[in-house]
Amino acid sequence: SQTIHQWPATLVQPVGSPLSLECTVEGTSNPNLYWYRQAAGRGLQLLFYSVGIGQISSEVPQNLSASRPQDRQFILSSKKLLLSDSGFYLCAWTTPGTSNSPLHFGNGTRLTVT
Amino acid sequence: GESVGLHLPTLSVQEGDNSIINCAYSNSASDYFIWYKQESGKGPQFIIDIRSNMDKRQGQRVTVLLNKTVKHLSLQIAATQPGDSAVYFCAETILYSSASKIIFGSGTRLSIRP
């Protein structure tokens, strides 16, 4: 069966510090991978998605970047965090090549920038 | 632009009654719709989905209805239980190239009265 792992679960970082959140998927090959952000009490905003190694599409201009160094690894990064980067970050995967596949989410990382 | 929205941001239901959560979408090209349940501090969990060539789909205690004419989606939960308390999101899916673009609504919080 497929599983998705995100870490860390919680993170407190000062403004201006770098960020690296990691996500890995097991049990499937060449998944489509996604990063979402959720502000407190709000919906999910799509940040990045990837259809393969090294292929990243950005949905919104921002202080963040994403990379996919391996087939089942997706990393969210920032060189210098802003207060507005605080939120709940969710990684997700779907089966490639079809629109009829639900997102499967990890348990998220709660990021607080102080 | 694309958008998925919810008619009611909060819903309070008596335990044992049926719950109905509504959602409107705006993109006619969307061909797959999903309902997710999110409990506090966790990632969204898949509940039920429906393709655009269907107008109704039933699961265990849940039913999704799709009205493409008015671009409306609803989730019905039968015999609501305390464990159903959560935020519910609808999502629409559009296939772009080889990746599905999944857009979420803002969510409805469901609370259960004893």
Enumerate the domain spans of chain B: 4-113
Task: Assess if CATH 2.60.40.10 describes domain B4-113.
Answer: yes
B104 vs A contacts (CB less than 8 Å) = 36, 43-44
Q: Distance between CA atoms of B87 and B51, rounded to whole angstroms?
A: 22
DSSP state of A83: G
Does the CB of B93 have a partner CB in chain A at under 8 Å?
Answer: yes
Q: Do B95 and A110 touch (CB under 8 A)?
A: no
Whether B111 has its CB under 8 Å from any CB of chain A: the answer is: no
pLDDT at B7 over 50: no
Residue B54 has pLDDT above 70, yes or no: yes
What chain A holds in terms of domains, given with CATH numbers, is 3-113 (2.60.40.10)
**Mean pLDDT across chain B, nearest whole number?**
88
Question: B95 or B84: whose pLDDT is higher?
Answer: B84
Q: Report the pLDDT value the prediction gives residue A43, as an integer from 0 to 100.
A: 82
Nearest CA in chain B to A37: B43
> Which residue is it, tokens 């997710």?
B36
Question: Distance (Å, rounded) from C-alpha A12 to C-alpha A3?
Answer: 26
Binned at pLDDT 50, 70 and 90, residue A99 comes out as low
The pLDDT, as a whole number, for residue B3 is: 45
B49 with A51: Cβ contact below 8 A: no
pLDDT digits 0-9 by tens, B65-92: 999 999 999 999 999 999 999 999 999 9
As given in the structure block, the two tokens for residue A31 are 């998944």
Sign of the dihedral defined by the CA atoms of residues B28, B1, B56, B46, in that order: positive
Among residues B95, B93, B98, B94, the alpha carbon closest in space to that of A51 is found at B98
| 3-class DSSP state of A84 | helix
Please, which pLDDT band fits residue B97 given cuts at 50, 70 and 90? low
pLDDT band at B26 (very low <50, low <70, confident <90, very high): confident
Share of chain A above pLDDT 70, in %: 98
Pick from B26, B66, B32: nearest CA to B46: B32
Contact B20, B74 (CB under 8 A): yes
